[in-house]
Structure formats: C-alpha cells, structure tokens
Chain A
C-alpha cells in the first residue's frame, strides 16, 4: 500500500495483559514516530526512530512501554501489564528522512483496557 498501515485497528484487552501494536511505514521512509491520543489529553509524542535506532525515547510514559524497529521498516510498540489509563488511540507516522519533514499518519490502533 501507499500509506502508513497499523494493526490491529482495534484491540480490547484485560488489565494486566501485554499488547503489541504494529506499524508499517511508507516504503523508503527512514523516520518513524509513535503518538498517543487519549480522550481529554490530546496527542502526545511517545518515541521516534531514525532507521532502527531511537534517538528519543523521552515520551514513553513508563517502563511498561517499549518499542523496536527492525530492518528499518516495521515497528512494534509493546505495552506490558496494561492499565486502564493506557486506553487510547495509538498513532504511527513516518517521514522520508527526519522530523523536519511532513509526517504521514496511519489510521491508528484503538486500545481499550478493561
């Protein structure tokens, strides 16, 4: 596909379970970003990858959150021991070379923790 894709589109999980969210960036884009959009909180930056490395992990809200990117393409955001406050839409974006360029967003994964 031509755009950023994310899976699953929706995820319902029980408190305490681990979840993995996947992002496929636009082919050829070296920069990849994760954001979270919570009801009443707006959008917040989580992490940014340049290639396979993450120069900036400062936005991850706790050590339960981790992300990796392999092969300079697909990225996985993992939330361990999910809590109800983790419920949000998780958005992934990519850009051609870096943060100074237009970021193209995927449709998001809506996570609900019961």
Chain B
C-alpha cells in the first residue's frame, strides 16, 4: 500500500527566502506525481505534474524534482512571497490510477 510522507509538516519563513518541501513515497511503481496547493477553505490547485520518466518540471519560481527509484520528490520555491502561503500537497499516481495524498506542508511566508 502506497504511503506518502511530507516533511516538514509546517514551515514559517521570511519573505524572499528560497525553500524546499520534501515528499517521500513507499511504492516506486507510480505513473506520475503531482504537487498541489490548497488555500484555506478552497479547493486544490495543481502546480506541477512530473511524469515517471521525467526528473524535474519547472513553472515560474517553482521547480519540482522526482527520484522515482528512491521514492522522493522535492518542491523548490524560489524567492518566496506572502502569496505563496498555503498548504502544499504531494500526490503520486499509483498503479491503480489513484492519487495517494500526503498530509501536506503548511507554509507561511512572513512579510
């Protein structure tokens, strides 16, 4: 059974810092991995999708890497801004085509 762990559970940093969010998963038989953000009281917004054959994906200030064999993904946020404050969720797509979710990292960027 796929288990997803996100570290840290919460992170508070001053504006402008670069930061890394970590995600690990126990079953490397995945099709892809997605990173989402969730704002309080709202739905989920997809940030990046990395196919299992890819090593990384970039979108603006966000860069996600994937090491499938070791069961790890990282989300790098450059030059953080207060608007980046949200909960970040990682979700690998398992062999049954189900997204399996981590508990998330709650990020607070202080102005």
Contact = CB atoms under 8 A, between A and B. Distances in A.
Contact of B43 (A33, A100, A101, A108): A108
Interface in A75-114: 91, 93, 98-108
A24 to B, nearest CB: 13
Contact of B97 (A44, A48, A104): A48
- How large, as a class, is the contact surface on chain A? 20 to 34
Given A42-B104, A43-B89, A44-B101, A106 B96 contact: no
A102 B98 contact: no
Contacts of B42: 107-108
Contacts of A101: 49
Contact of A100 (B31, B89, B100, B103): B31
B93 A42 contact: no
Main secondary structure of the interface of B (DSSP, over half): strand
Contact of A42 (B32, B51, B103): B103
A56 interface: yes
A29 to B, nearest CB: 13
A53 interface: no
B79 interface: no
Given A100-B32, A102-B34, 6 more contacts: A42-B101, A43-B89, A45-B100, A59-B98, A91-B44, A100-B51
| Nearest 10 interchain pairs by C-beta | A43-B101, A99-B97, A105-B43, A105-B44, A45-B98, A107-B43, A102-B46, A42-B103, A102-B49, A100-B31
